Amino acid sequence: MSKVASAAGSAHRTPTNPRGLKDLPFEVPGVTDAQKRRARRLDRALIEAYPDAHCELDAACPHELLIATILSAQTTDVGVNKATPGLFRAFPEPADYAKSTPEQIEPYIKTLGFFRSKAKSVHAAMTALVQDHAGQVPSSMDELLRLRGVARKTANVVLGNAFDINDGFVVDTHIMRLAWRFDLIDEDERDDPKKVERKLVALFPRAQWCRLSHCIIWHGRRACPARGARAHEHPICKGFGVHCPKG
């Protein structure tokens, strides 16, 4: 966090796990009133710039979204969307995956990185849905995290987009990068997804976590990529991009 932002309002830090966040399974870091006001201005700017921002993984139901998100690890959404139509036609329901084997799933996702490991994760997750959840995707963080191939990022994507539940903040490579460029996190937090998520949930209103994650990701993909010499020219980067590249 910039020295100016960190110093401003330092006497008014939010207490750990304030009202509305007490159910989270981790301690929320303290943030100043000034930091929260700046975050809300950024929130409004991003939503105004990207009013149609949404999850760009193609899925027609919760279990398809769960599968697509598992497959998206270290792979682009574009690549996943090319592979899943054939996969979803071949295996319409979780029970169809459970009746198959990872080896039977592999041919449909062989264009994706780590496809053998992902086939095992998809097969195990869908088998667990059939055996433990009557074929339905669970709508709780704890139950989702018990599924193979599911960590907090995947669970947050599914909860937010399939069930409209904000139990955390999605943290992918775009959000990691932009949280730093927008000066939302400290130097010692920028490489730790857990610390990034905790700071973001402290800064932004809970009702906005899912929608805002899409806005940040859209901005990262469309205007402020990891490598882009002119990324700082976007109005949002000009207004909030403390650490955006300058050339």
Domain regions of the chain by residue span: 31-53+169-240, 62-162
Q: Which fold has domain 62-162?
A: Endonuclease III; domain 1 (1.10.340)
Q: What is the pTM of this model?
A: 0.91
Is the pLDDT at 153 greater than 50? The verdict is yes
195 is catalytic: no
The mean pLDDT value for 117-122 works out to: 98
Instruction: Tell me the pLDDT band of 171, cut-offs 50, 70 and 90.
Output: very high
pLDDT of residue 12: 44
Give me the sign of the Cα torsion angle 216, 221, 225, 228.
negative
Q: Are 26 and 198 in contact (CB under 8 A)?
A: yes
CATH assignment, 31-53+169-240 = 1.10.1670.10
Kindly name the residue from 118, 120, 153, 195 that is annotated as catalytic: 153
Least reliable range by pLDDT among 64-78, 162-176, 224-238: 224-238
- Of 118, 172, 195, 199, the active-site residue reads 172
Q: Rounded mean pLDDT of 232-246?
A: 88
**Is 58 considered catalytic here?**
no
Please tell me the distance from the alpha carbon of residue 188 to that of residue 199, in angstroms, as a whole number.
Answer: 12
Q: What are 68-93's pLDDT values in tens digits?
A: 999 999 999 999 999 999 999 999 99
